Amino acid sequence: MARNPGLNLAYTDGVQRELHALGRTPGTTYYVDSGHASASNNNAGTSWDRPCATIDGGNNKCTASQGDKVIIAARHAENITAADSIDMDVAGVEFIGLRNGNQMPTISSTAAEGSITVAAANVTIRNIKMQANFTGGTTAGITIAAAGDGCTLDGIVMRDTANTKEHLLHLTVATTVDDLTIQNCDFVHLSGGSATNSILFAGTSTYLRIINTFIFADCTDSVVDHLVGAATDAYIDGLTVYNEDDQTAGYVLDFHASSTGIVTNCRGAYNKIDAEMTKGAAMWWIENYFSNTIAQSGLLEPSTAHAIP
């Protein structure tokens, strides 16, 4: 594989191992680098020397369920203005952003509709930064459509450029999506915006996994909102959430009363002193600490009201 002379990043050991592993997997690898002088979606895109110019350009060259991968240069940047500007609609494709410290592929939404849409099964997205840059707010940074079963979001970073240029939702998930995994992600709202939720589920889900993720929110409603439909066999582990809003009383974690699964090792805080923290009466809550009073240590939530014989 030819090394992109303009990439200018020190590959970490982890990335080196990952790139080495790509040679042992089926499918075709495509490369995306908007900063390369020869970048074009008319290229074959199979080398750093002749990369695609956009992520959607790389996606469109992939074949469903063949193990294809799209590798995105750390310096790659593009603006999106529509819900289908980046339409990940080919099943089984893995999108891997290269990362060197804070340098990672950056997608800026410059319209309300600007969103990455996952519209096929078994899509994986790693190490992508989503940046809201539209006055009045971007409706959603990433949209998981009903066909997006088996999606994995790993190492996704979400940022606002101003509290008037924000993600109104970081992530929205259609009803009946199964096997969604959100892990190692970092979602941040700036203070004083108009965001409603960080993660919003439109209905039911099965086998949802949220693992080792941080959310700093300023939401007028629940930060993680799964109220409309039940989550079946969900597993939430190592989630840390802070809602800075001090005006309205949603929840940090809000699950439908019929949801099942385990919430464990989570930490949460809400800046509204009388705010409730969690909801999900049919779920197991194990060793979770929450606080709605600044400078006070978190308490077990829900509170311990039973004894184990």
The predicted pLDDT at position 199 comes to 98
What domains can be seen in the chain, in order of their start residue? 13-31+67-300 (2.160.20.10)
- Is residue 293 a contact partner of residue 277, using CB atoms and an 8 Å limit? no
The pairing of strands 289-291 and 299-300 is antiparallel
Can you name the residues that pair with 132 across neighbouring β-strands? 109, 160
Amino acid (1-letter code) at residue 29: T
Strands 234-237 and 267-270: unpaired
Q: For residue 305, name the pLDDT band (cuts at 50, 70, 90).
A: confident
Share of the chain above pLDDT 90, in %: 81
Give the DSSP H/E element, type plus range, for residue 58: helix 55-59
**pLDDT confidence tier of residue 308, bands split at 50, 70 and 90:** confident
Instruction: Kindly report the pTM of this predicted structure.
Output: 0.91
Q: Higher confidence at residue 79 or residue 247?
A: 79
